[in-house]
Structure 1
Amino acid sequence: MAVFPKSDHYGTTDREDVVRVDANRGNYLAYLRELLRYLRVASPEIIVFGKASPYSFVPALLYRMVRGGQLVFDCDEWDPATVVDADAPLLKTLAYRTLTACAARMADAILVSNENILEKLPDQVHPQCTYTPNGVNWEQFGETVESSSPNKFTLTYVGSLHKDEQIRPVLNALPYVKDELATVDRFEDFRIRFVGPGNLDALRARVQSKHVEFPGPVPHKEVSEQLARSNVLLALFGDMASLRYASNMKLFEYMATGRPIVASDVGEVRRILGNGQAGYLVDPSNPREIASTIAKIARSPEEAEKKGQRARKRAHDHYRWELLARRVRTVVEDLLGDSDS
């Protein structure tokens, strides 16, 4: 059984095993009472809470204090870094630091989505940690499809466009990309597509170039089609503290397609891409390096194809959702076994 807010940016679901609780930000106590009332009825043996927030960790902890049970901390990013990057007030930053430290020490098991998170956790809780990064739906993204624009060199970024750090490295490199690709005879032209939600009117007004497109967001089920139109997939973002401890799902979806990937050498991206054997790693603050790397792919398609296929194999062998689900299942079964002994 899963419990989520009735409305959030992840949308809704028709699944009967998902309960949605009203997380009205203006009435936290009402939310807390409603959630605890549900937990008392459900009487779970294990509670998996995502994020060490007042809306997840606090009710899970209160329930355990009264009714017992075991806690699993789903640490999918390092929240203290995330709130700092979001310019949160000092009080909120201190609250998340305190809650995260408490959650790590009080959880019976911890799921970490990024191995760099371990450096933030106390050594004594490391044995309780299981590495469970984001993954990929292989049935959706693993199908091999030929690029639909053989004469136009197409580069695609898929993701949120709300923060400048998410697109600045590519835009800064744009003039150099234009110069570099002008010397490549294989393609008549090039385009860079930013697919995702954001202030699109402002972005189009800011970036007035025939080479840049902002088609807007698409349903997740259509993302694989967007990637299939591309010669190169871009995972370029600034070196923000939060991203060093995040698990970027788009990277695994990119890998499954077998397309060449140009990615920021930030966080655990290097390790995921096989130390650069399964993708092209660049300094996001160096626009000339980004441009020359993109041109290298255009000039050397055989090498790029090899890297893309290595990425595809790594996605299949290590990052399919069914493989990662087995790790979570093992954690839950181990906890249930401990409670029975």
Structure 2
Amino acid sequence: MTAQRVVHLTTVHPRDDIRIFRKECVSLARAGYAVTQVVGDGLGAAVVDGVRIVDFGPRPAGRLARMREQPRLGLQAVLAEQPALVHVHDPELLPLAVQLAARGLPVVYDAHEDVPRQILTKQWIAAPLRPLLSRAFEIYENHQVRRLAAVVASTPHIAERFARVAHRSVNVSNFPFLAELAPPADPVEREWRVCYVGGLMRTRGLLQIVRAVALVPDLRLTLCGAFEDAAFEAEMRAEPGWARVDYLGLVGREQVRQVLACSRVGLVTLLPLPSYMDALPIKMFEYMSAELPVLASDFPLWRDILGRSGGGRCVDPADPQAIAAVLGEMLADPVAASAMGKAGREAVLAHYHWPRAEQVLLGLYRELIGAP
């Protein structure tokens, strides 16, 4: 066994996932660990930013085929690395994680989401079954993590939930890098537009956003991300307000920086669903890091963050007229909006940045396998 070799495994996320690769794996490699990321995407082996990427083959078509085939291939690839620690990133890998733990390996489960609460919102599951499946999965997940070395959670809420059942539970929030989206040294003039960057799903309040933008004279919306399905995209394009939308699709990080730099408000008006109420959406903190005023859902946690930081305002995300009214007020006072943006950036520099979260991750690794 190589003393400081660690493996991160995912069968769901892309190899360049921001949390898994760009933050956790790269941070660990820079700290001195020998880091390998094991994926199954068919794109081949590589070495990027000090991280070895091992690819065990293309992803099968269909969720069930992936869940049936890829964990087995992933297990073989992980064992071939002879790691000192394994870090898994998908709920479907919990049985594999338990197998590895039974071999004496320290295994970390990365809880990106509060899956039981997510199940309550899954449209493809019959509504009467959702509470039963949610509770059943929570019991299952709790049972499995008891056998693992630790849980790394993406929010304090998730970390607290697992603290009752796991040997060790830490919060490693998905906060932004300090410099990546910082406003340019020579600021560009902000256009008469607002933006949303992220997954394009019905539950993210996007229909309400498009309807709200249509109520503000001449305002345009920049939309970046991939639609969850063709039916929702068609529904969005049928909205009269779609004429005010500039849809860019999936974009790289440099283009994200440009979009934030030329927008006046960043939107994160997710609908009030159980899986969102205690979330810490990366887009909110990325907007703040770019000195962009934030308009967010009026959830208690988000209201507290924006209220204490002064980085934005909150609104009922289900009410397009309310969204339009608050947007109109924010846009009408550019001096106040600029102050919000600067306050948000200061809050990121003080509290909500990846280097701070990174120290929690490195501290956990030192506890489990020692310093590099």
- The answer for the alignment partner of 1:14 in structure 2 is 46
1:111 to 111, 136, 152: 152
Q: In 2, distance between residues paired with 1:143 and 1:194?
A: 19
1:46 to 82, 85, 106: 85
- The alpha-carbon distance between structure 1 residues 14 and 266, as it changes in their structure 2 partners (threshold 3 A), is farther
Which piece of structure 1 moves more, 253-262 or 163-172? 163-172
Say whether residues 1:156 and 2:195 are aligned partners.
Answer: yes
Amino acid at match of 1:136: P
Deviation, 1:141, is: 0.3
**For residues 49-198 of structure 1, what are the structure 2 equivalents within 5 Å?**
49-51=88-90, 53-54=91-92, 56-65=93-102, 67-89=103-125, 90=129, 93=134, 96-118=137-159, 120-121=161-162, 123=164, 125=166, 128-144=168-184, 146-149=187-190, 152-163=191-202, 165-174=204-213, 176-178=215-217, 189-198=218-227
Amino acid at match of 1:142: A
- The answer for the alignment partner of 1:3 in structure 2 is 9
Deviation, 1:134, is: 0.8
Deviation, 1:201, is: 5.3
Question: Contact between 2:153 and 2:173, CA under 8 Å: does it hold in 1?
Answer: yes
- State the percentage of identical aligned residues: 22
2:76 to 37, 62, 67: 37
Question: Contact between 1:173 and 1:287, CA under 8 Å: does it hold in 2?
Answer: yes
Deviation, 1:283, is: 1.8
Runs of 5+ unmatched residues, structure 2: 1-6, 18-40
Deviation, 1:94, is: 5.6
- The answer for the alignment partner of 2:265 in structure 1 is 232
Deviation, 1:156, is: 0.9
- The answer for the alignment partner of 1:249 in structure 2 is 282
Say whether residues 1:318 and 2:324 are aligned partners.
Answer: no
Structure with the bigger RCO (C-alpha within 8 Å, sep 6+) is 1
Runs of 5+ unmatched residues, structure 1: 179-188
Question: Contact between 1:161 and 1:167, CA under 8 Å: does it hold in 2?
Answer: yes
- The alpha-carbon distance between structure 1 residues 88 and 128, as it changes in their structure 2 partners (threshold 3 A), is farther
Deviation, 1:37, is: 2.3
- The answer for the alignment partner of 1:186 in structure 2 is none
- The alpha-carbon distance between structure 1 residues 103 and 295, as it changes in their structure 2 partners (threshold 3 A), is same
Q: In 2, distance between residues paired with 1:160 and 1:29?
A: 26
Q: Which runs of 4+ in 1 moved over 6 A?
A: none
Matched residue SS, 1:247? coil
Q: In 1, distance between residues paired with 2:352 and 2:142?
A: 28
Count of aligned pairs? 322
Matched residue SS, 1:214? strand
Q: In 1, distance between residues paired with 2:138 and 2:12?
A: 27
Deviation, 1:203, is: 2.5
Q: In 1, distance between residues paired with 2:67 and 2:311?
A: 46
Question: Contact between 1:50 and 1:57, CA under 8 Å: does it hold in 2?
Answer: no
Deviation, 1:299, is: 2.4
RMSD between superposed Cα atoms in Å: 3.0
- The alpha-carbon distance between structure 1 residues 267 and 61, as it changes in their structure 2 partners (threshold 3 A), is farther
The normalised TM-score by structure 1 is 0.81
Deviation, 1:28, is: 4.9
Which digits, 9 at most, give the CA deviation of each residue in 1:106-143, with x for residues without a partner? Answer: 33222221222255446365x83222111213332013
- The alpha-carbon distance between structure 1 residues 48 and 164, as it changes in their structure 2 partners (threshold 3 A), is closer
